[in-house]
Amino acid sequence: DERITITINDGVYTEKVKVHSWNSHLTLRGRTPGGVVIRWDDYFDKMNRGPNSTFHTATLLVQGDDFHAENLTIENTAGPVGQAVALAVEADRCVFDNCRMLGNQDTLYADGANARQLYRNCTIEGTTDFIFGGATALFENCTIHSKSNSYITAASTPQGRPYGFVFLNCKLTAAKGVDNVYLGRPWRSYARTVFIKCDMGSHIRPSGWHNWNAPEKEGTVFYAEGANT
């Protein structure tokens, strides 16, 4: 019933970590920014659990509501080998402050039934669909770093939910040679993603969005941009 804070000493922790649903109101706090690295290397083919293998790859899996994280680096070190989640959040009222999520495809899975999540002053990097899922999630003052020509988001917002992914005051950057990146494509038909007051690098395609080769989704998704530079 009360918040429990675990302070983590600086170091590299090579392990998979799971915060169970019954471990609510938990805070994991690194002592210094960038000093704590949690990493593992599971990926889709390695898991060999059928079409849902992606969802078993996470380095850190959060299922407990009211989870907080501060000063952590969460990394999937499998490399460019397909779906490989660094952080999966399937819980409500979760907050990530000054954290780094590092990977390639499917770096951050933000999901959960009616889940609301906040990512503030974070760095999220990846290649394809590296921010995906159905949560209502606000990304505020974050750096979103593309490592290849592909797609940043793949929202799966459930039908009827008013908000999906919201990027506010974020900076979109890219690795050297990356010059052809979409803001997003709809993993599900009612995906909702908006970018507001963001600084977008020249790697972002003028067209912005892709329909995932399903033109009918253009009639159901909500994709928007406002006051960006």
Quick: pLDDT tens for 172-218: 999 999 999 999 999 999 999 999 999 999 999 999 999 999 999 99
Q: Is the pLDDT of residue 33 over 90?
A: no
Active site residue 1: no
Active site residue 129: yes
Marked catalytic residue, from 65, 92, 111, 129: 129
pLDDT of residue 123: 98
Quick one: pLDDT band at residue 1, thresholds 50, 70, 90?
A: confident
pLDDT of residue 216: 97
pLDDT of residue 113: 85
Task: Catalogue the long-range contacts made by 28-35 (C-beta closer than 8 Å, 24 or more residues apart).
Answer: 28/67, 28/68, 28/69, 28/70, 28/72, 29/5, 29/68, 29/69, 29/70, 29/71, 30/70, 30/71, 30/72, 31/7, 31/71, 32/71, 33/71, 33/98, 34/71, 34/73, 34/100, 35/10, 35/11, 35/71
Mean pLDDT of the chain: 98
pLDDT of residue 186: 98
Marked catalytic residue, from 65, 92, 106, 111: 106
Q: Is the pTM of this model over 0.85?
A: yes
